Amino acid sequence: MHPFTPASQQVTLPVQPAAAGQRPGIAGSPRPFLPDTLRTIRSAQNGAGQKARQVTLLRDDPAKSDVMSLLAQNRDLLYPGLGAGAAGLTPPYLKHPSVSFWTVRENGTLLGCGALKELTPPVPGSGTTGLCGEITSMRTAAYARGLGVGQVLLQQIISNASARGYACLLLETGTQDFFASSRRLYQRHGFVDCRPFGTYRADPGSIFMRLDLQPAASAAGAEAETADAAAAPAAREHAKPGTLTAILAAQRAMAARPPVR
């Protein structure tokens, strides 16, 4: 059964603060950060006697069985035949102190995941000597595609990277048709093609992208996102107020607040 069902009534709960010890980024960083847990809730379609449906964005454990299963699917797609040894898609890598890992769930069912890795400067190919982050392990479950899960995760990553004072965000994705929607998502948020960075090498199966974390770039991404939403409302049919769109609204509101000094 599809995890999303239309609701006749939605209620948005207050944003939940980050749990103790859940500060994103390298331990001891003085930079401001966004809450790691956002929650919304809506009543079931038929009301009485049915369990309310709750959507959460939260810092999570990449070693959970459902997360490992989703990452294994992505690993097998990207690195067929390499098995559990594929770099960047295993819990030990994702549990490193430099990595922040989030999931989106509905009533506990995993819809997608994404991670932000802080790179040690200077990063070859980044074009800056400042701190940069890499987006890794972005994955949406097949039954949740087209509902805005990737957008929620990407916005959380961008907002956290900006709050930490990163100079840029970098990523590597595939050239295959399967990754076309992911590339469009990144482009809508201001990412542009760049040369390989870090230890990556040029590869016909890879595209490298970067986002300079400046106000102009953020504004361009927001304008593109608004235009896309107006042009393709059907793609967001189930992402109604009280669910994913409520989380997106809360993310934008927090990202717009002045840093706390």
At 189, list the tokens. 């948020």
Output the pLDDT for position 71: 87
Nearest to 128 by CA among 219, 33, 210: 210
What are the tens digits of pLDDT across the range 155-206? 999 999 999 999 999 999 989 888 899 999 999 999 999 999 999 999 998 9
Residue 165 lies in a domain: yes
Instruction: Please report whether residue 6 resides in a domain.
Output: no
Largest pairwise CA distance in the chain: 58
- Looking at the predicted structure, is the pLDDT value of residue 150 above 60? yes
Nearest alpha-carbon partner for 4 in 53, 40, 43, 48: 53
Q: Give residue 51's pLDDT.
A: 67
Higher-scoring residue by pLDDT: 19, 171: 171
Q: Which residues pair with 168 in a beta bridge?
A: 132, 212
Reply yes or no on whether the pLDDT at 29 is more than 50.
Answer: no
- Judged against a pLDDT cut of 70, whether residue 113 lies above it is answered with yes
Predicted local distance difference test score (pLDDT) of residue 192: 96
Q: What is the mean pLDDT of residues 76-90?
A: 56
Share above pLDDT 90 across residues of the chain, in percent, rounded to a whole number = 41
Number of domains the chain contains: 1
First to last CA, the chain: 47
- Angle at alpha carbon of residue 108, lines to 107 and 111, rounded to 5°: 95
**pLDDT confidence tier of residue 118, bands split at 50, 70 and 90:** very high
Q: Which of residues 60 and 228 earns the better pLDDT score?
A: 60
CA gap 85, 87 in Å, rounded: 6
Helix axes 180-188, 149-163, angle to 10 degrees: 40
68, pLDDT greater than 70 = yes
In the beta sheet, which residues pair with residue 114? 102
Task: Average the pLDDT over each of 9-13, 137-141, 189-193 and give the range with the smallest value.
Answer: 9-13
Q: How many other CB atoms are there within 10 angstroms of residue 253's CB atom?
A: 10
| 245, two tokens | 């769109």
Concatenating the DSSP letter of every residue in 58-111 gives EE--TTSHHHHHHHHHHHHHHSTTTGGG-TTSSHHHHTSTTEEEEEEEETTEEE
Residue 91, pLDDT above cutoff 80: no
Q: Identify the CA nearest to 42 among candidates 80, 92, 5, 81.
A: 5
What percentage of the chain exceeds 70 in pLDDT?
A: 62
- Please tell me the predicted confidence (pLDDT) of residue 26: 35
Residue 260, number of CB atoms within 10 A of its CB? 7
Instruction: Give the residue-averaged pLDDT of 27-37.
Output: 49
Task: Please report whether residue 1 resides in a domain.
Answer: no
CB neighbours (10 Å) of residue 8? Answer: 10
Q: What is the CATH number of the domain that holds 222?
A: 3.40.630.30
Tokens of 152: 């929620």
Print the domain residue range for 120. Answer: 31-256
Confidence of residue 1 (pLDDT cuts 50, 70, 90): very low
- pTM, whole model, 2 decimals? 0.72
Confidence at residue 182, expressed as pLDDT on a 0 to 100 scale = 92
- The arithmetic mean of pLDDT across residues 226-245, rounded, is 46
Identify the band that residue 81 occupies on the pLDDT scale cut at 50, 70 and 90: low
